[in-house]
Chain A
Amino acid sequence: MMQITVYTARAVRTMEPALPLAQAVAVCDGRIIEVGSLETMQPWLQAHPHTIDKRFRDHVIMPGFIDPHLHPSMAALLLPMHFTTAMEWRLPWQDVPATRGHNEFLDRLKQIDLSMADAEEPLFAWGHHPIWHGEVDRQTLNGISATRPIIVWHRGFHTLVVNDATLDWMGLDEAEADRHPQVNAAEGRFYETGLSLAFRYFNPYTLAPKRFTGGLERLRQVVHHGGHTTIGDMAAGMFDLDMEWNALVKVLEQDDTPFRVQMIPPGTPLGGELKDTAKLIERTVGLRQRNTHRLRFYDHVKLFADGGFYAGLMQLGLPGAIDGSIGEWMTPPETFVAVARAYWNEGFKIHVHCSGDLGVELALDTLEKLQWERPRFDHRFTIEHFGVSTPEQVRRMAALGALASVNIYYVYELGDAYWKHKLGYERASQMSRLGTLARHNVPTALHTDFTMAPALPLNSAWVAANRISENGLVMGPEECLTLDQAMRAITIDAAYVLGLEHEIGTIRAGKKADFTVLEQDPYEVGAENLREIPIWGTVFEGQPFPIKTER
C-alpha cells in the first residue's frame, strides 16, 4: 500500500532545466513520485492515501547537497581537537571565530585550557599559522600551562609545537629527540618527517577507538549541518581499512544518519610499485561485499598524481615555484599509468588527485594514452582538486571527456599566501579555474576535501561565484562561476561526478527524495549572500531531519 507524503514549499528549486521551479514535491518510500503543484499531482493523490505536510511553506526545497570528496577518517582525527584557526569555522557545536594576532592566539589557548575540566587531559589545538599568529614555541606554551600537555598543530599539518608537560607525557628523551634534523627540542617543535616521531607517542591516544568514533560522531553532525545528503569518502581506508570501516558502520549506519557515503578506495598503495594488477583489481572489487545501505563501494577508484596543495608539494610546470622548491609524486608516473590502465580496462571510473599543473598533465597524458589504446565513452575520468592548471589543459579535458571536482577554497584561504610566497599573482589568482571549465562545458563539481575546507556547500558555492580571498580581495574574477553554475556544482554536477545523477542531484519523479531545506532562496538572495543562507535541515530518503544545534 503506497503512502504518499507531499511537501509543499515557498519554492522547490529542482535544478531540472525542464521544470526549474515548483511548489510541491510528493514522496513515497524514499522516492520522489512527482514534482509540481498540488493541482498537477492530483491523479497520484486521488489514487493513493496521502498526507500534505506544510512545514516547509516558508522554506525553499533544493536537491540534497553533495560533497563528492571529503575524508571522514581525517575529520574523525581532527574534530575532537580544539580549533584555533585564522579563518572562522562554523561547526555544529560552536562557531569558531577567526583568531588573528599573537596575543589573541595565546588568549584563545588560555581560555581553552581554563574551560577543560580534567587538568591532565592533553590539549590538542589545530589551526596555528605563523602568518597570522606569529611563532610559538615550547616556552610560549609553558606560559599557558606548566602541567597540561599542550600540542599546537599547524593548519597545513606540517608542524607541531609542544610544551614541557607534553614532553613529559610522551616520555621522550630531549637529547634523543634533538638528534632528529626535523625536531627542535629546545623549541618543542616537530616538523615534516619529525612529525612521525611525535605521532609514535600520540597515535595510541588520538587513534584510540573511543576517541576515533567520537570524532566520527562529530563528523556526522558536520555533514548534516552543511546540508549534505550524500558525500564521497574519496580515499576510503586511508589509515587502516578495517578499523575505519568498523567505526564508520558503527557510527554512520544508523537510522538517524541523514546521508549516504559513497566509498571510493585508493587504487594502489601510496608510493608502491605495481606488481600484480589482477590481484589489485580483485581486492578493489572485493570491497563491495562489505556494502550496507548507506555506505557503498562501487566502480569508482581514486588514484594520486602529485603531492598536496596545502603542503606545497604540488608538481608545477614552468615557471615553477618562487622558492624554487620541487614538489613530489605520490605515485611514480610509470606506476600511475600502469595502474590507471588496469582500472580503465576493467571499466572503472577513475578519480585522480592532482594539485599542480604538472600533476594535471600526467593525468591527461595518461587519459589520452588510454583513450588511444581502448576508447571509452562516458568514462567519468575526473581531475580532483585542480589547484593550478592551464587554460589549454581545460580545453584538453573537454576534448578527452574528463570531468573536474574542484576545491575552490584554495582561492579563499591560500590566494594571498600563494600569491606572495609560492606562485605570484597571475597564477595564484587563477587557482581552481572554474570559469574556464564552465566555458568549455566540462562538468564540474565543488568539493571541500574536508578538513581542507569547511564542509559547507553553500560556502563553497559562495567562493566559486565570488572568488573573494580571506583578506577581501577578488582573485581572478574571470574564473567565477555564475550562481546557477555554482548551485549545479553542489547538486547535479556533483552527482554526475559520483556517477549517481540518475538517483540524486535534482528533484524529479523517480529520484531519491533527498532535499536540503533552506530558509532563503539562493536565486533571490544572489551570489554574494550565498554563504549566509540559514539551513533548516535536510530530508533524506523522504524523512525530515531538522538541524538541532548542540549549543
Chain B
Amino acid sequence: MIPVTVIGGYLGAGKTTLINGLLRGTHGRRLAVLVNDFGAIDIDARLLADHDGDTISLANGCVCCTIADALGDALNKVSAMRPAPDHIVIEASGVANPAKIAMYGQGWPGLRLDGIIVMADAESVRARSEDKFVGGTVRQQLTAADLLVLNKMDLLTRDQCDLVRQWLETQAPDGRIATACHGDLPASVLLGQIAAQDRRYQAQGDGMARHDTYRAVPFRTARPLDRIRLGLQIASWPAGILRAKGLVHIFDDPGYAYILQLVGARYTLEKGPAWGKERPVTEIVVIAAAADLNPGFLESSLLSACL
C-alpha cells in the first residue's frame, strides 16, 4: 500500500515551501504531491517533463496534481498511475482540519496513512491561535499533528525560539516537534525514508543553528521484543524523536517479521512477511533531533522492551 503523508498548517506556515523542497529533492523517491493549486509551486523548467492541465510530471519521476475541490478524484488519479508512486503527499488547505484529510489517506483503497505533519509559523502561530476567527481552527490543526514543524525559526531570537517551542508543547502534548528554517527538513524526517548508510543529517539553513540537526540511530538485537513494553517505551520518548522504521522480531508471533513505522506520536506495528529460514532479528532506525537525543537513550529504551 502506498503511504500517505498529510501536510497541514495555517496559511503562511510554509507548506508550499516545504513541498517545493520535496519536489526538487534528491531523495530518489517518486512522489505524488496533491496541492490546492499550482500557483505557488515553483518548478525549474529544466525539471519539467510534462504538464497536462491538472498534473505536472517532473523528470525525477515526481508528479504534482491539483486537488481542485475533489480530493477523492485526485487520489484515484495518482493511485492509478503506473508505475505507482512511492509516496503520496497531500497538502491540506490552510483552514482544513488535517485529521479529516488524513481519513482519506487512511481509508482509500490501496493507500495507508503514514502521518500528519502540521507546520506552524514560529513568528505568528501563537497570535493566530488566539485570533477571533481562526483561533479554533489553528488549535485544532496543532492537536491533529503527529509531527509538528515549527518553521521560520530564523526570524526569532533564541529566547523567542525557546518560548514558542515551550508554548507549542503545551498545545500539542502528544505531538513531536521538529524545528526548521525556510521549511527545510530532510526527506527522511518528512517521509521516513531511511537509508542505512545515512547516519547523520544536516539541515540546510542560515548557519545560525536555531533549527535542529538530525541523526539516524540504528538499533539491532536478536532478542524478541514485547509488544506492550515497546508501546510503553515509545510513549515515553522525548519530543525530538521524530521517526522510526524497521522490522521487529515480536515475542508473541515469532514466525513473522513485524513492520514498525513511527511518525511523531503515531506508530503502527503490522504483520509482515514470515521470517522463513532467516534468523529473526530486530532492526530499527530512529531519526531524532540531535539536541534531543542523549547517547545511549534509545539503545537502553529499546533493550528494556526486549524479553
Residues on A close to B: CB < 8 A? 173, 176-177, 179-183, 192-194, 196-197, 199-200, 269-273, 275-276, 315, 326-329, 331-335, 358, 361-362
Contacts and interface: CB of A to CB of B under 8 A. Distances in A.
B129 interface: no
B219 to A, nearest CB: 29
B103 to A, nearest CB: 4
Q: Which of B97, B101, B109 has the most CB of A within 10 A?
A: B109
A200 B72 contact: yes
A196 B37 contact: no
B72 A271 contact: no
A329 B134 contact: yes
A362 B103 contact: no
B134 A181 contact: no
A269 to B, nearest CB: 6
Interface in B122-153: 132-134, 136-137, 140
Interface stretch (B88-96, B206-214, B249-257): B88-96
21 contacts: A179-B107, A181-B107, A192-B100, A193-B100, A193-B101, A197-B72, A270-B69, A271-B36, A271-B67, A272-B36, A273-B40, A273-B94, A275-B37, A275-B39, A326-B136, A329-B137, A332-B11, A332-B93, A332-B95, A334-B11, A361-B132
B17 interface: no
B104 interface: yes
B95 A272 contact: no
B133 A182 contact: no
B188 interface: no
A275 B41 CA distance: 11
Contacts of B167: none
A182 B72 CA distance: 14
A426 B101 CA distance: 34
B213 to A, nearest CB: 32
B12 to A, nearest CB: 8
Interface in B69-128: 69, 71-72, 76, 93-97, 100-101, 103-104, 106-109, 112
A182 B103 contact: yes
Given A197-B72, A334-B11, A271 B133 contact: no
Given A197-B107, A271-B36, A326 B140 contact: yes
Interface in B37-77: 37, 39-40, 67-69, 71-72, 76
Contact of A181 (B10, B106, B109): B106
A361 B133 CA distance: 9
Nearest to B134: A333
A22 B10 CA distance: 59
Interface in B192-217: none
A193 B109 contact: no
A196 B137 CA distance: 23
A193 B104 contact: yes
B107 A271 contact: no
B122 to A, nearest CB: 18
Contacts, number: 91
Interface string B1-32: 00000000011000000000000000000000
Given A332-B11, A333-B134, A276 B106 contact: no
B76 to A, nearest CB: 6
Contacts of A332: 10-11, 93-95, 134
Contacts of A199: 72
Nearest to B12: A334
A2 B60 CA distance: 73
Interface residues of B, number: 32
Given A193-B100, A271-B69, A328-B95, 7 more contacts: A179-B112, A180-B106, A196-B104, A315-B136, A331-B95, A333-B95, A333-B134
A269 B37 contact: yes
Contact of B103 (A173, A193, A361): A193
A327 B96 CA distance: 11
B103 A271 contact: no
Contacts of B72: 196-197, 199-200
B103 A181 contact: yes
B174 to A, nearest CB: 18
B107 A275 contact: no
A337 to B, nearest CB: 10
Contacts of A334: 11
Contacts of B39: 273, 275-276
From B101, B106, B107, B134, name the one whose CB has the most chain A CB atoms within 10 angstroms.
B107
Given A200-B72, A271-B96, A176 B109 contact: yes
A327 B95 CA distance: 11
Contact of B36 (A273, A276, A328): A273
A328 B107 contact: no
A358 B140 contact: no
A285 to B, nearest CB: 20
Given A272-B37, A273-B94, A326-B137, A180 B69 contact: no
B106 A329 contact: no
A333 to B, nearest CB: 5
A192 B97 CA distance: 13
B88 to A, nearest CB: 15
Given A181-B103, A194-B103, A275-B39, A328 B133 contact: no
A182 B94 CA distance: 23
B57 to A, nearest CB: 22
Contacts of B95: 271, 328-329, 331-333
A326 B129 CA distance: 14
Contacts of B69: 269-271
Contact of A196 (B36, B71, B132): B71
A240 to B, nearest CB: 10
* Top 6 A-B residue pairs of the complex, sorted by shortest distance between their CB atoms: A180-B107, A275-B39, A196-B72, A326-B136, A271-B93, A329-B95
Contacts of A181: 103, 106-107
A443 to B, nearest CB: 26
A196 B74 CA distance: 11
Given A200-B76, A273-B39, A358 B133 contact: yes
Contacts of B134: 329, 332-333
Contacts of B136: 315, 326-327
A362 to B, nearest CB: 6
Contacts of A270: 69
Contacts of B104: 193, 196
Contacts of A327: 136
A182 B107 CA distance: 8
A273 B94 CA distance: 8
Contacts of A179: 106-107, 112
A292 B107 CA distance: 44
B71 to A, nearest CB: 7
B154 to A, nearest CB: 23
B68 to A, nearest CB: 7
Contacts of B97: 328
A180 B103 contact: yes
Contacts of A273: 11, 36-37, 39-40, 93-94
Nearest to B136: A326
A412 B270 CA distance: 50
Contacts of A329: 95, 133-134, 137
